[in-house]
Amino acid sequence: MKLSDFFRKKSSGSVAKDRLKLVLVSDRTNCSPDIMEQIKNDIIAVISKYLEIDTDELDIKITQTEVDGTTEAVPALFANIPIKNLKVH
């Protein structure tokens, strides 16, 4: 661990708060891992029609994001989908 990491280390209290916020988003939306898996597969199926994507590195999750101009957090579907190859049609 670098010295700078030591100073930047988050306190365990704020780690707890961040983890809770995330887990509660999925608890509250009642989004089970099964449904997440289905959403993920459907998204892969749609995008694969147009692009070649890296399904191993793909990351889809429900998280919170702040609305512009407010401090209010709203749930958002976050998807990080690496593209392997742009298919030419």
Where on the chain is the footprint of another protein (CB under 8 A)? 11-14, 16-17, 19-21, 23-24, 27-28
74: nearest Cα among 21, 18, 8? 21
* Minimum CB–partner distance for residue 20 and another protein (Å): 5
Token readout for 50 is 């147009």
* Minimum CB–partner distance for residue 50 and another protein (Å): 39
In the complex with another protein, which residue's Cβ is closer, 11 or 85?
11
* Minimum CB–partner distance for residue 36 and another protein (Å): 18
